Chain A
């Protein structure tokens, strides 16, 4: 069964460094998302992406964040200059399209980011 895959599973970085988290969504999916979960807290929406552009972003997703789908398969999240508070588990998700019958989100296993 196809799955969303994420790399790396864990990354440790110094504050101020750039980080790129990678995701390979399920191949026939059209909608892509990044969520994050700070330890012990809720799963928070960061950004949604459709038709090669951002369709919605949260207030967390400031100028330090960017997303890209450079080659039609990878979907990346870049944090330009990491802060301590960026430490979290980052989840990539994809789905075919919204709607009750088709709107199931398929999640990756997550990338744990630790900023020191």
Chain B
């Protein structure tokens, strides 16, 4: 069975400080991993996906298969980064996307 673990419910950082939101997964196949974000009063939306190795809004995430991790990082937090962040694992095919419990990022001005 697939599982996504986000150990931190809340992460508070000061503006300008580095951010790392942790995500670990458990899956026997080849994982497809995503980060979704939910800003206040907005819908869940895709932030980034591991395959594209892109930086979105200054965030990056690297898939580490050895450690089964997909941590989300940003070198300098901004106030507008405050939101709920969900790590998600897609097992592909017709199957579900499994979400982690989410981490609330609070950037303190």
Contact = CB atoms under 8 A, between A and B. Distances in A.
Contacts of A110: 43
Interface of A: 4, 31, 33, 35, 41-45, 48, 50, 55-56, 58, 91, 93, 98-101, 103-110
Given A42-B99, A48-B95, A58-B96, A98 B45 contact: no
B22 interface: no
Contacts of A4: 43
Interface of B: 32, 34, 36, 42-46, 49-52, 86, 88, 90, 92-102
Given A91-B44, A100-B51, A105-B46, A56 B96 contact: yes
B43 A107 contact: yes
B90 A103 contact: yes
A33 B92 contact: no
29 contacts: A4-B43, A33-B97, A35-B99, A42-B99, A42-B100, A42-B101, A42-B102, A43-B44, A43-B102, A45-B96, A45-B97, A45-B98, A48-B95, A56-B96, A98-B90, A98-B95, A99-B92, A100-B90, A101-B51, A103-B49, A103-B97, A104-B34, A104-B46, A105-B46, A106-B45, A107-B43, A107-B44, A109-B42, A110-B43
Contacts of A50: 94
Given A100-B52, A105-B97, 11 more contacts: A42-B99, A43-B86, A45-B99, A55-B94, A99-B32, A100-B32, A103-B92, A105-B88, A107-B43, A108-B43, A110-B43
Contacts of A44: 99
B43 A104 contact: no
Contacts of A58: 96
